[in-house]
Chains A and B, each alone.
Chain A
Amino acid sequence: MEKISRYFRQSLTRQFIGLMSLFIVLFLVGGALVLWKQQTLVNTFEAKREQLQQKERYAEQLDRAFTQAFFDARGYLAFGRKEFKQSIYQQKEQVVATMQKLKPLAKTAEDRQLLEEAAAFTSYYFDDLVKKAIADFEAGNIQAVLKASENGGTASIQRFQKQLSEYHSSLVEQIENEYKQLKMTQAQLQYSFLLFIFLMMLLLMSIMRMMAKRIGRPLNAFATAAEKFAQEETDVHWSFANERDDEIGKLSRAFQKMIYSIREKEDSLVAQNEELLAQQDELESQQAELEQALETMQRREEELRRRNEFINGLSNSLDKQEVLDSIVCNICKVMDADRGMIVLLNDKKSYAAFGVSAQGVQQFLHELDNGMYQRLQKTKQPFSVKRELPTSEKGYYEEALYSYDLVLPVLSAQREVEAIMMFSRFRGDFSPHEIEEYERLTKQVSISLQKIRLYEESEKDRRMTQDILNNIQEGIQLVDMRGVNLMMNTQLANFLHVDVNEISEAPYEQWKSLLLQKVVDEKNLSDYLDRVLLHDTLETKSFTYHVKGEKKVIHMYAEPLYRGTERFGTVFVHRDITKEFEVDQMKSEFVSTVSHELRTPLSSVLGFTELMLNKELKPERQRKYLTTIYQEAKRLTALINDFLDVQRMESGRQTYDKKYEDIVPIIQNVIETQKVNTTIHEFMIQKETNRTIVLGDRDKLAQVFTNLLSNAVKYSPDGGKITVRIYEQGDRLAIDVTDEGLGIPAEAIPHLFTKFYRVDNSDRRRIGGTGLGLAIVKEIVKAHDGEIAVTSEVKKGSTFTISLPLVAVETDPQNDVPIDKGMNVIIVEDDRNLASLLEAELSDSGFSVKSFKNGKEAIGAIKAEKPAAVVLDIMLEEGEMSGWDVLEKMKADKELSSIPIIVSSALEEKEKGLMLGASDYLIKPYQPSQLTKTILHMLLKQERQGEILVPVTDEEDK
C-alpha cells in the first residue's frame, strides 16, 4: 500500500492515468450494472409473462376443452351421436392433462383455487352430471336429463365458465400489470443511469480539478516566482511544492536549486562585476589617457602626413614652377588656408598662387615693393594680419567676414629673404604655435628652392656640356674601367647607327663589335682597344682607321679620366680626319709630283751640262745642248713661278689690284704675244658686246688668257683657228677661247683644273707644260667672282668659257636708265678715292652728286638740299660722328627721316643698319654699278609707294 502510494506520488502522469483508469473502471462497472439490471428486469418480465401466458394458454385450453365438452355433451345429448360422447371423454382427458400441466404453474392462491374448482367441476361434470345425463339419455330419460340440467347442471357449468373467464382476464390483467411494472422499473433504471453518469461527470470534474490544482497551482506559483525572479525581486517564495515527489516537486526543487545556484552565481557575478567595474573604471581612465595620446598622435600623424605630402611635393620635381605650385598648394592644405602664394624675390619674380588671380598676384607684388619687402628684410619674421574681406572677396556671405593673412619670409642659407609666402585663412587666426610650425616649413621651402637653384645650375651646365659634346665634330665616348659605356655623344652614336640611350651602359664587347663592324682594319682596332682598356697601356694612345664602304678616315685617341688622383675610366675621341688625311695625301702626292716635275728639267740641265763639261762635242751638239739647257731652265723657272703662284693663290695670299678694266685690250695684248710663238695658228677676236668692262687685276686677267691661249696653241699642234668670243650672258661677261686642236677626253674634264693634272695621252705628252696652268686660271677666275667651264670634243677642239660679273658702266648710251637730272644724291665717305669713284659712277648714271668727308657737314648739306638719297659710310674720320650717328640723327629728324639712306660700309652689320632705318646696306667692296642699281631700285620702290615721283626725262634729246 505504501509502495503504491509512493508510485503514484512520484509522477503526475501516473496519478493522472491512475485516476482516469479508476474513472473508466467505475464508469464501465456502473454502465455494466445498469445494463445487467436492465437485462435482468427484462428477463424476469419475460419469464413472468411466459408463465402467465402459459397459464393463460392452459386456461384457454381448459376453457376450450370444457367448452368442447359442453358442446359435445350437448350435441350428444341432442343428437346422440357417439363421436360426441367420445369427444367428451377426450375432452375430459384434455382437461385432466391441462390441469396436470397447470398444476406446477399454480403458485398463487387464485391459481390453486382455480385448479381446485376446475378439479371439482371436472369431477362433478364428467363423473356426475355427464355420466348421469348420458346414462339418463341412454336411458331416455330426457326428463331426467333436462331436470338435471335444470337442477343446476347448467348453472354450474355456467358458473364454471364464468370462473374460467374471470381467471383468464385476471391473467391478462396480470400480464399487463407485469408490463407496467417493467416499464416503471425500466424508467427508474434509466433515471438512475442518468444519475450515475452525472455522478461520474462530477467525479471526472473533481479529478480534473484536482489534477489542475495539483499542476496549475504550483505552475502558476512557479511562473509568478520565475517572473518575479526575472524581475529580480529578492523575496521570491520558492518552496511551493518541494515536498512533492512528482515532476512539479522535482521541478520545484530543481528550480529552487537553480535559483539558489543562480543566486550564488549572481552573487559571485556581482562580486566579479564589482571587481570588473573597478577594472573598467581603471581601464576607462587609461583609455581616456590613450585616446588623448591617440588624438595627439593622430594630430601629429596628420601633421606629418601633410608635411610629408608637402615635402614629397617639394622633392618630386625639379621643375621650378611645379615645385612652387606644389609648395603653395601643400602649405595651403597644411594650414587649411583658403588662398596662398609664393613669390621668389631673387629672379624674375617667379610665383605660384593658389586661389589668387593673376591680378591679385600683381597687386601683391606691388604691395611687396611698397614696404612689405623692406619690413621682412629687416625683421625676417613672419607676421599675421587680420582684415575684413571686401565684398568682392566675400562671395555670398552677407555678414562681415575676416581673413587672417600670414606672411612668411623664406630665408636663404645666408639669411636673406629669397621668397615671400602669403596665406589667407577665413576660418580663424593663426596661433603662435602654428606660426612657429609654418616657419619651420619655410626652411624646407628654402632648402627646396636651393635644390632647384642647384639643379637648374647643374642642369644648365650639364646641358651645356651635352650640347658641346653633341655639337662638336668629334665622336666622344666615355667608358669605365671595365670598358662599360658611360656616355656616347650623338655623333658617335649616329656613326655606329645606334641610339644614344640604347648604347648607354653597353658592355665593352657590345660597343666594340658595333665599332668594329664599321671599320676596315678591325683586327688592329680590336687590338688597340684591348691594349687601351684591358692592358691599360696608354703609350699607344691613338689609332687611325678607315670606315668601311666610305672614304672616311677617323683618328681616335684615348685619354684616361681621373677623379682626383683615382682613374675611373677612359675617354675615346673619334675625330674625322678625312679632310686632313686627303690633304695629307694630296700634299705628299703633290710633293712627289713637284719633285718629279722639278727633277726632270733639272736632270736635263745637269746631264747636258755634265756632258758638255766632260766630253769633246761638236759645235752643233754644243749648240743643241745649250739650247736644251736654256729651254729646260726656262721651263724650270716657269714651273717654279707657276707653282709659287698656285701656292699663293690657294693660300689666299695672292693680292689682286682690282680696277675697272676693259677686257678687250687685255686679250688683244695676250694674242699679240702668243702670235709670236706660232706661225700655224690664226687668232680671231669676236666682240659681240660693248659692255666689256670688268672689275679686275689687269695682270692676272692677262695671265688667265695667256694660259688659255698658250694651251690652245700647245694642244692644237697642227695649227688652226683660235677664236676669242666676247659676249654678254645675262648680267655677266663671257669670253670663249676656242681651238681646233686635240680636244680633251670627257673623263679628263673634271680633273682638268687639278694641279699637275695632265691628260694621259702620248700625243699630248710630248707637249710640255707644268700642269699648273689651268689650276692658276681657275684660282684667278675664282678671285674675280667668275666661273670657268669647258666643252670639248676629242680631235675637234676645245672651248674654255670664262664668265665674269659685268660692271654696269655703260658705254652704250642706248642702255642708260632714265634719271631725273635734278635728282641729287649725297655721299658721305671719308675715303676720297672711293668717294670720287662713286661720284663718277652716280654722275654717269645721271644723278647730281655731292660728297662729304664728315658727318656734321653732310647733315648740314642734307638739311639744306633734301637729297633723293644719301650714301653713308659708317667708319668716318676719327673723332667725328660715325655713320651710325648720322643715320640716327637723320631718322630722328622729322624732315629727314623719309630720305632713303644706303649704308656703304666694310662692316658686315647689315641687320643693325636696317634696324636703324637704312633703306639698304652695301658691304664694301662692291661694284659701283651696284650702288646705282640700288638707288634706282629704291627710288622706284618709293615711287610705287607714291612718295615721290621720278620725272620722265626726254631721252630723245640725247
Chain B
Amino acid sequence: MAKILLAEDEEVLRMLVVDTLEDEGYEIDEACDGQEAIELIKENEYDLILLDYMMPIYTGLEVIQQVRELPEKKHVKIMMLSAKSQQADQQRVLEAGADYFMAKPYSPLELVKRIEEILHGEN
C-alpha cells in the first residue's frame, strides 16, 4: 500500500486526514511542523506528501523548496493543502514545485478521491 506523509500543525486536522486515509488503507506518517516534515522526507520514501502551508519553523512552501533541492527527491509527489486559496497563492505554490494543490477547508472524501487519482493514475 502507498505510503503518505502528512505535515500539518493542527492536531484536529491531522486526526481528520489520518483517520480518513487510514480507513482507505494508506500508511500515514505525521509531522507537526516543517522541520519534522523535512527530516521524515529525507529518511523515508513516500508516494505522496501532503503539506500544510502555514506551519511553524518552515512553511509548506519552504519545505517544498528544500525538498526539491535534494536530487533524489526531485520527483516525489507533493500536494499542498492551504487556506490560501487564491489563484495567485496556488500559482506560487505550483511554481515552487508542488504537484498538486487543495484549498482548505477541504472535504476529506474529496481528498481521498484526489489521492486515489494521483496514485492510481500513475499505476
A interface residues, Cβ below 8 angstroms from B: 592, 595-596, 599-604, 606-608, 610-611, 614-615, 621, 628, 631-632, 760-762, 765-766
Contacts and interface: CB of A to CB of B under 8 A. Distances in A.
B12 A628 contact: yes
Interface in B80-119: 83-84, 104-109
A628 B13 CA distance: 10
Contacts of A621: 19
B66 to A, nearest CB: 17
Nearest to B54: A596
Contact of A608 (B9, B16, B23, B33): B16
Given A599-B104, A765-B33, A604 B57 contact: no
Contacts of B56: 760-762, 765
Contacts of B62: none
Given A611-B20, A765-B32, 8 more contacts: A592-B84, A599-B105, A603-B13, A603-B105, A621-B19, A631-B12, A762-B56, A765-B9
A603 B106 CA distance: 6
A599 B106 CA distance: 10
A400 to B, nearest CB: 104
Contacts of A610: 107-109
Contacts of B105: 599, 602-603, 606-607
A610 B20 CA distance: 11
A600 B23 contact: no
A760 B104 contact: no
A603 B109 CA distance: 13
B104 A600 contact: yes
B36 A604 contact: no
B10 interface: yes
20 contacts: A595-B83, A595-B84, A596-B54, A596-B83, A599-B104, A603-B13, A603-B104, A606-B107, A607-B17, A607-B106, A607-B107, A610-B107, A611-B16, A611-B19, A611-B20, A615-B23, A761-B56, A762-B32, A762-B33, A766-B32
Nearest to B33: A762
A611 B19 CA distance: 10
A760 B9 CA distance: 11
Nearest to B10: A600
Contacts of B19: 611, 621
B67 to A, nearest CB: 19
B122 interface: no
Contacts of A592: 84
B61 to A, nearest CB: 13
Nearest to A614: B109
Interface residues of B, number: 25
User: Which has the most chain A C-beta neighbours within 10 Å: B17, B57, B104?
Assistant: B104
Contact of A632 (B12, B17, B106, B107): B12
A631 B16 CA distance: 14
B16 A760 contact: no
B79 to A, nearest CB: 15
B19 to A, nearest CB: 7
Contacts of B10: 600, 604
A95 B9 CA distance: 216
B12 A604 contact: yes
B51 to A, nearest CB: 14
Nearest to A632: B12
Contact of B83 (A600, A606, A628, A766): A600
A592 B108 CA distance: 23
A762 B83 CA distance: 20
Contacts of B104: 599-600, 603
Contacts of A604: 10, 12-13, 16
A929 to B, nearest CB: 48
A594 to B, nearest CB: 10
B16 to A, nearest CB: 4
Nearest to B11: A766
Contacts of B32: 762, 765-766
B15 interface: yes
Nearest to B55: A765
Contacts of B11: 766
Interface string B1-30: 000000001111101110110010000000
A632 B36 CA distance: 25
Nearest to A610: B107
Given A762-B56, A762-B57, A765-B56, A628 B107 contact: no
A631 B36 CA distance: 27
A128 B31 CA distance: 233
A596 B57 CA distance: 17
B33 to A, nearest CB: 5
Interface string B28-42: 000011001000000
A761 B57 CA distance: 8
A141 B20 CA distance: 255
Contacts of B36: 762
Contacts of B107: 606-607, 610
A603 B16 contact: yes
A602 B107 CA distance: 11
A374 B107 CA distance: 99
A196 B17 CA distance: 189
B57 A628 contact: no
A610 B16 CA distance: 10
A599 B52 CA distance: 12
Nearest to A593: B54
A615 B106 CA distance: 17
B33 A607 contact: no
Contacts of B15: 628
Contacts of A628: 12, 15
Q: Which 9 A-B pairs have the closest CB atoms?
A: A603-B105, A599-B83, A604-B12, A607-B16, A596-B83, A599-B104, A760-B56, A607-B108, A602-B105
A623 to B, nearest CB: 13
Contacts of B54: 596
A607 B16 CA distance: 7
A141 B112 CA distance: 253
A608 B108 CA distance: 8
B102 to A, nearest CB: 11
B13 A607 contact: yes
A596 B82 CA distance: 8
A631 B11 CA distance: 12
Contacts of A760: 56-57
A259 to B, nearest CB: 133
Contacts of B12: 600-601, 604, 628, 631-632
A604 B20 CA distance: 12
Contacts of B9: 765
B17 to A, nearest CB: 8
Contacts of A595: 83-84
Contacts of B23: 615
Nearest to B108: A607
Contacts of B109: 610-611, 614
User: Which has the most chain B C-beta neighbours within 10 Å: A592, A610, A615, A621?
Assistant: A610
